[in-house]
Chain A
Amino acid sequence: QKEVEQNSGPLSVPEGAIASLNCTYSDRGSQSFFWYRQYSGKSPELIMSIYSNGDKEDGRFTAQLNKASQYVSLLIRDSQPSDSATYLCAVSGAGSYQLTFGKGTKLSVIP
Protein backbone atom coordinates (compact mmCIF):
# COMPACT_ATOMS: atom_id res chain seq x y z
CA GLN A 1 0.00 0.00 0.00
CA LYS A 2 1.56 3.25 -1.13
CA GLU A 3 1.42 5.90 1.58
CA VAL A 4 1.96 9.62 1.57
CA GLU A 5 2.29 11.30 4.94
CA GLN A 6 1.79 14.95 5.76
CA ASN A 7 1.44 16.88 8.98
CA SER A 8 -2.24 17.84 9.03
CA GLY A 9 -1.55 21.12 10.81
CA PRO A 10 -2.93 23.66 11.04
CA LEU A 11 0.25 25.53 10.27
CA SER A 12 -0.03 29.22 11.09
CA VAL A 13 2.47 31.76 9.78
CA PRO A 14 2.42 35.56 9.80
CA GLU A 15 1.99 37.43 6.55
CA GLY A 16 5.33 37.86 4.77
CA ALA A 17 6.95 34.86 6.44
CA ILE A 18 8.12 31.61 4.84
CA ALA A 19 5.75 28.66 5.12
CA SER A 20 7.36 25.22 5.01
CA LEU A 21 5.25 22.17 4.17
CA ASN A 22 6.62 18.64 4.34
CA CYS A 23 5.70 15.27 2.90
CA THR A 24 7.15 11.76 3.07
CA TYR A 25 6.25 8.79 0.89
CA SER A 26 6.65 5.06 1.25
CA ASP A 27 7.16 3.81 -2.33
CA ARG A 28 10.80 4.06 -3.38
CA GLY A 29 9.74 3.59 -7.01
CA SER A 30 7.84 6.87 -7.04
CA GLN A 31 8.89 9.10 -9.91
CA SER A 32 6.66 12.16 -9.99
CA PHE A 33 5.74 14.50 -7.20
CA PHE A 34 3.10 17.19 -7.06
CA TRP A 35 1.79 19.86 -4.74
CA TYR A 36 -1.88 20.79 -5.06
CA ARG A 37 -3.62 23.66 -3.32
CA GLN A 38 -7.23 23.21 -2.23
CA TYR A 39 -9.33 26.09 -0.97
CA SER A 40 -12.22 25.18 1.30
CA GLY A 41 -15.10 23.79 -0.75
CA LYS A 42 -13.09 23.86 -3.97
CA SER A 43 -11.28 21.27 -6.04
CA PRO A 44 -7.50 20.75 -5.94
CA GLU A 45 -5.38 22.81 -8.31
CA LEU A 46 -1.80 22.03 -9.26
CA ILE A 47 0.80 24.55 -8.10
CA MET A 48 4.10 22.66 -8.42
CA SER A 49 5.49 19.48 -9.94
CA ILE A 50 8.98 18.05 -9.44
CA TYR A 51 10.62 14.97 -10.94
CA SER A 52 14.30 15.04 -9.99
CA ASN A 53 16.30 15.60 -6.83
CA GLY A 54 16.97 19.17 -5.86
CA ASP A 55 15.01 22.39 -5.88
CA LYS A 56 12.51 23.78 -8.35
CA GLU A 57 11.40 27.38 -8.07
CA ASP A 58 8.31 29.05 -9.52
CA GLY A 59 7.64 32.55 -8.29
CA ARG A 60 7.13 32.47 -4.53
CA PHE A 61 7.00 28.66 -4.49
CA THR A 62 9.95 26.27 -4.21
CA ALA A 63 9.58 22.51 -4.27
CA GLN A 64 12.39 20.37 -2.89
CA LEU A 65 12.85 16.65 -3.53
CA ASN A 66 15.17 14.16 -1.85
CA LYS A 67 14.49 10.67 -3.20
CA ALA A 68 17.07 9.02 -0.93
CA SER A 69 15.16 10.28 2.11
CA GLN A 70 11.77 9.86 0.37
CA TYR A 71 10.98 13.42 1.24
CA VAL A 72 9.43 16.30 -0.65
CA SER A 73 8.73 19.78 0.62
CA LEU A 74 7.13 23.03 -0.47
CA LEU A 75 8.32 26.46 0.61
CA ILE A 76 6.12 29.49 0.18
CA ARG A 77 8.01 32.77 0.47
CA ASP A 78 6.39 36.08 1.39
CA SER A 79 3.23 34.25 2.46
CA GLN A 80 -0.02 36.06 1.76
CA PRO A 81 -3.46 35.61 3.35
CA SER A 82 -4.62 34.32 -0.05
CA ASP A 83 -2.23 31.38 0.42
CA SER A 84 -4.44 30.14 3.26
CA ALA A 85 -5.63 26.74 2.05
CA THR A 86 -4.97 23.03 2.40
CA TYR A 87 -1.88 21.83 0.55
CA LEU A 88 -1.97 18.28 -0.77
CA CYS A 89 1.16 16.31 -1.58
CA ALA A 90 0.66 13.74 -4.36
CA VAL A 91 2.99 11.04 -5.65
CA SER A 92 2.90 8.72 -8.66
CA GLY A 93 4.95 5.79 -9.88
CA ALA A 94 6.84 5.51 -13.14
CA GLY A 95 4.50 6.03 -16.08
CA SER A 96 1.36 5.37 -14.07
CA TYR A 97 0.12 8.95 -13.59
CA GLN A 98 -2.02 7.52 -10.87
CA LEU A 99 -1.71 9.91 -7.96
CA THR A 100 -1.65 8.91 -4.30
CA PHE A 101 -2.49 11.88 -2.12
CA GLY A 102 -1.58 12.73 1.44
CA LYS A 103 -4.22 14.01 3.84
CA GLY A 104 -3.07 17.58 3.33
CA THR A 105 -1.66 20.32 5.53
CA LYS A 106 -3.92 23.24 6.37
CA LEU A 107 -2.05 26.53 6.16
CA SER A 108 -3.29 29.75 7.72
CA VAL A 109 -1.50 33.01 6.92
CA ILE A 110 -2.24 35.58 9.58
CA PRO A 111 -2.42 39.25 8.40
Chain B
Amino acid sequence: EAGVAQSPRYKIIEKRQSVAFWCNPISGHATLYWYQQILGQGPKLLIQFQNNGVVDDSQLPKDRFSAERLKGVDSTLKIQPAKLEDSAVYLCASRELVNTGELFFGEGSRLTVL
Protein backbone atom coordinates (compact mmCIF):
# COMPACT_ATOMS: atom_id res chain seq x y z
CA GLU B 1 0.00 0.00 0.00
CA ALA B 2 1.43 3.36 -1.01
CA GLY B 3 1.89 5.88 1.79
CA VAL B 4 1.10 9.57 1.97
CA ALA B 5 3.03 11.41 -0.74
CA GLN B 6 4.23 14.98 -0.34
CA SER B 7 6.20 17.37 -2.51
CA PRO B 8 8.46 19.18 -2.62
CA ARG B 9 10.58 17.71 0.15
CA TYR B 10 12.60 20.89 0.56
CA LYS B 11 11.97 24.51 -0.37
CA ILE B 12 13.99 27.66 0.30
CA ILE B 13 12.40 31.03 -0.39
CA GLU B 14 12.85 34.67 0.49
CA LYS B 15 10.40 36.33 2.87
CA ARG B 16 7.34 37.76 1.17
CA GLN B 17 7.54 35.13 -1.60
CA SER B 18 4.91 32.46 -2.04
CA VAL B 19 5.14 28.67 -1.84
CA ALA B 20 2.81 25.73 -2.37
CA PHE B 21 2.94 22.21 -1.00
CA TRP B 22 1.15 19.20 -2.42
CA CYS B 23 -0.16 16.09 -0.68
CA ASN B 24 -1.64 12.86 -2.00
CA PRO B 25 -3.15 10.79 0.85
CA ILE B 26 -3.43 7.04 1.11
CA SER B 27 -6.05 5.77 -1.31
CA GLY B 28 -9.47 5.67 0.28
CA HIS B 29 -8.59 7.87 3.26
CA ALA B 30 -11.36 10.40 3.63
CA THR B 31 -9.75 12.60 6.25
CA LEU B 32 -6.68 14.70 5.52
CA TYR B 33 -4.70 16.93 7.85
CA TRP B 34 -2.00 19.55 7.44
CA TYR B 35 0.30 20.01 10.42
CA GLN B 36 3.09 22.52 10.96
CA GLN B 37 6.11 21.33 12.94
CA ILE B 38 8.60 23.96 14.01
CA LEU B 39 12.04 22.67 15.02
CA GLY B 40 11.99 21.33 18.57
CA GLN B 41 8.21 21.35 18.85
CA GLY B 42 5.40 18.89 18.27
CA PRO B 43 3.17 19.07 15.19
CA LYS B 44 0.47 21.73 15.30
CA LEU B 45 -2.75 21.24 13.35
CA LEU B 46 -3.38 23.81 10.64
CA ILE B 47 -6.41 22.38 8.87
CA GLN B 48 -8.50 19.21 8.72
CA PHE B 49 -10.51 18.08 5.68
CA GLN B 50 -13.08 15.35 5.43
CA ASN B 51 -13.54 14.45 1.79
CA ASN B 52 -13.38 17.90 0.17
CA GLY B 53 -14.94 19.83 3.05
CA VAL B 54 -13.12 21.72 5.81
CA VAL B 55 -13.75 20.30 9.30
CA ASP B 56 -11.49 22.66 11.23
CA ASP B 57 -9.26 25.52 10.12
CA SER B 58 -9.31 27.48 13.37
CA GLN B 59 -5.51 27.49 13.68
CA LEU B 60 -4.78 28.36 10.06
CA PRO B 61 -3.40 31.92 9.68
CA LYS B 62 -5.89 32.81 6.99
CA ASP B 63 -4.27 36.12 6.11
CA ARG B 64 -1.39 34.22 4.53
CA PHE B 65 -2.21 30.51 4.47
CA SER B 66 -4.76 28.78 2.28
CA ALA B 67 -5.53 25.15 1.60
CA GLU B 68 -7.82 23.22 -0.65
CA ARG B 69 -8.71 19.64 -1.34
CA LEU B 70 -10.26 19.26 -4.73
CA LYS B 71 -12.36 16.17 -5.47
CA GLY B 72 -11.66 14.88 -1.97
CA VAL B 73 -8.25 13.45 -2.86
CA ASP B 74 -5.13 15.59 -3.35
CA SER B 75 -4.59 18.71 -1.30
CA THR B 76 -2.45 21.81 -1.62
CA LEU B 77 -1.29 24.20 1.10
CA LYS B 78 -0.20 27.66 0.04
CA ILE B 79 1.62 30.39 1.92
CA GLN B 80 1.59 33.91 0.52
CA PRO B 81 3.45 36.00 1.56
CA ALA B 82 5.84 33.92 3.62
CA LYS B 83 7.35 35.18 6.88
CA LEU B 84 10.54 34.08 8.62
CA GLU B 85 8.48 32.35 11.32
CA ASP B 86 6.89 30.09 8.70
CA SER B 87 10.13 28.11 8.52
CA ALA B 88 9.02 24.62 9.53
CA VAL B 89 8.21 21.16 8.28
CA TYR B 90 4.72 20.89 6.84
CA LEU B 91 3.33 17.44 7.44
CA CYS B 92 0.37 15.96 5.66
CA ALA B 93 -1.48 13.08 7.29
CA SER B 94 -4.48 11.01 6.36
CA ARG B 95 -6.90 8.69 8.12
CA GLU B 96 -9.63 6.28 7.13
CA LEU B 97 -13.13 7.58 7.78
CA VAL B 98 -13.82 4.87 10.30
CA ASN B 99 -10.97 3.55 12.38
CA THR B 100 -9.40 3.94 15.77
CA GLY B 101 -7.79 7.24 14.95
CA GLU B 102 -4.35 6.32 13.61
CA LEU B 103 -2.94 9.04 11.42
CA PHE B 104 -0.49 8.14 8.67
CA PHE B 105 2.03 10.87 7.99
CA GLY B 106 3.91 11.78 4.84
CA GLU B 107 7.63 12.54 4.90
CA GLY B 108 6.94 16.25 5.13
CA SER B 109 7.96 19.36 3.23
CA ARG B 110 10.73 21.36 4.87
CA LEU B 111 10.40 25.11 4.29
CA THR B 112 13.18 27.60 4.97
CA VAL B 113 12.29 31.29 4.71
CA LEU B 114 15.29 33.62 4.43
**Measuring CB to CB, which residues of chain A are less than 8 angstroms from any residue of chain B?**
4, 6, 8, 32, 34, 42-46, 49, 51, 88, 90, 92, 97-104
Bitwise interface map of B from 27 to 51 toward A, beta carbon under 8 Å scored 1, else 0: 0000101000000111111001000
Which of chain A's residues have a CB closer than 8 A to the CB of B43? 44, 88, 99, 101
* A49, B40: Cβ atoms closer than 8 Å: no
Shortest distance between the CB of B97 and any CB in chain A (Å): 10
The 9 closest A-B pairs by CB, nearest first: A101-B42, A43-B105, A97-B101, A103-B42, A101-B43, A32-B101, A46-B102, A102-B42, A103-B41
Q: What would 21 A/B residue contacts be, using CB atoms closer than 8 Å?
A: A6-B42, A32-B100, A34-B102, A42-B107, A43-B105, A43-B107, A44-B43, A44-B105, A46-B103, A51-B100, A90-B42, A92-B101, A98-B55, A98-B56, A99-B103, A100-B45, A101-B42, A101-B44, A103-B40, A103-B41, A104-B41
Is residue B25 within 8 Å, beta carbon to beta carbon, of the partner chain?
no
* B91, A43: Cβ atoms closer than 8 Å: yes
Residue of A whose beta carbon sits closest to that of B105: A43
Which of chain A's residues have a CB closer than 8 A to the CB of B95? 97
A94 and B31 CA atoms in complex are apart in Å by: 16
Residue of A whose beta carbon sits closest to that of B108: A43
* A49, B102: Cβ atoms closer than 8 Å: yes
Other contacts beyond A44-B43, A49-B102, A101-B44: 17, CB < 8 A: A4-B42, A32-B101, A34-B102, A43-B106, A44-B105, A46-B102, A88-B42, A90-B42, A92-B101, A97-B31, A97-B95, A98-B33, A98-B55, A99-B43, A99-B45, A99-B101, A103-B42
* B91, A98: Cβ atoms closer than 8 Å: no
Shortest distance between the CB of A11 and any CB in chain B (Å): 15
